[in-house]
Amino acid sequence: MRVHVIICIAMVVIGCGKKTDTAQPQLKSITQAVYASGRLYPKHFYRVSSKIPGVVAEIYVKAGDSVRRGMPLIKITSTIADIGLSAAQNALSLAEDNAKETGAYLSAAAAELESARAKYSYDSISSQRLKRLLDENATSRSSYDVSATQLDVSRQQLRKAQQTYESLVQRAQVERRNARLQVAAQRTAREDYIIYAAEDGLIYDVIPNAGELINPQMVIIEIGDASEYEVELNIDETDIAFLMPGQRIVYTIDSYKQDRFEGVVSHVNPRVSAADKTAKITATITSSSPRRFLPGMSLEANIVVAEKARALVIPREYLKTGSTVDVERESSVQSLKVRTGIEDLRFVEVLEGLSTQDILVK
């Protein structure tokens, strides 16, 4: 884990002057911090992009303008939108024709239905006539049976033709409704190409010029809160377990090296990027003196994860693998196991195993 000292602590350097190979544990203040780097952004900062490719027809704002939610920002023309609307209108025209009883789509089915109805009517009359003749012994049973069978076939064909016609009518009506909805959706989509501000804020950048071609998801405009800034930090995945909202942060900004900036962790993103093995956190930032922040300014941060005002510490170089130290006792050197706590770049806290009277040996 990477650790950094972020506040000035009155440390007594062990072994000043002539270099020695011994040291004694001492009671000192110690602070453990996690290093991070990131950038400044206005609060509620967001980047405007287009859903579709097109040409910038008109830009209504410029960098430095204040905007209100719902104000138009940019107009984009797209042949794709026009083609989509034209295709939807053509589909609607066809669906309207198909839904008409006199249209080609339903008229053929209606003709088949009328033909089946006429055939059924003819076979019904024929069967009834043969039934009367049979009752008068003027025809044979076989002739009547043939007519009765034909009547049954005609009845089935009429029912099928009726069902087919009703199904086509229902389908034509559904297709007409869907086509109308598609036209409405295409018209709405075309209106989306006038992009509006989603929040109040300040225009920080307008990237394309009028007449330029833009692609989907390409950043067009950057907007944010002009009165308040926040910080996005990248944290190494090995350090993410130490972080939580509310922890204090001290920043260093390259543009203002002499100033002190502080803040607190406001949100820890629970996801680690597979590309660079880092997680993102969002934090506040305050300044002891008024400074002009600009979006994208880089900074470095030390996030305080633990601190003690009075801790028993030893120099880091005296701690050996396995949390052991060599101690001079009774004219001999003994290896002792210790329990450690927080640490910074120079010192390690010892929770158990040593006292200020012990002499450490390298």
pTM for the model = 0.55
Asked if 103 and 240 sit in the same domain, the reply is: no
Which residue numbers in the chain have pLDDT < 70? 1-20, 79, 189-192
Asked if 218 and 240 sit in the same domain, the reply is: no
Asked if 355 and 233 sit in the same domain, the reply is: yes
End-of-domain residue from the set 175, 191, 207: 191
Q: Identify whether 14 is part of a domain.
A: no
Which tens digit of pLDDT belongs to each residue from 100-110? 988 888 999 99
Asked if 181 and 198 sit in the same domain, the reply is: no
Q: How many CB atoms lie within 10 A of CB 152?
A: 12
Range of the domain at 59: 46-75+194-224
End-of-domain residue from the set 208, 224, 240: 224
End-of-domain residue from the set 191, 215, 241: 191
Inter-residue contact 220 to 280 (CB < 8 Å)? no
Asked if 260 and 309 sit in the same domain, the reply is: yes
Q: Identify whether 17 is part of a domain.
A: no
Q: Identify whether 12 is part of a domain.
A: no
pLDDT at 29: 95
> Letter for the amino acid at 184?
A
pLDDT at 20: 52
Q: Identify whether 181 is part of a domain.
A: yes
The burial class, CB within 10 Å (0-12 / 13-18 / 19+), for 213 is: exposed
pLDDT at 12: 35
Q: How far apart are CA 239 and CA 37, in angstroms?
A: 13
Quick one: how far is CA 168 from the chain centroid? Answer: 44
Handedness of CA 236, 237, 238, 239 (dihedral sign): positive
pLDDT at 192: 58
Asked if 63 and 199 sit in the same domain, the reply is: yes
Asked if 101 and 171 sit in the same domain, the reply is: yes
Asked if 143 and 169 sit in the same domain, the reply is: yes
pLDDT at 191: 61
Asked if 180 and 122 sit in the same domain, the reply is: yes
**Helix 104-135, helix 141-191: angle, nearest 10:** 160
pLDDT at 151: 94
pLDDT at 232: 95
Count up the domains in the chain and report the number: 3
* CATH code of the domain containing 280: 2.40.30.170
Asked if 207 and 181 sit in the same domain, the reply is: no
Asked if 57 and 161 sit in the same domain, the reply is: no
Q: Identify whether 130 is part of a domain.
A: yes
Asked if 98 and 200 sit in the same domain, the reply is: no
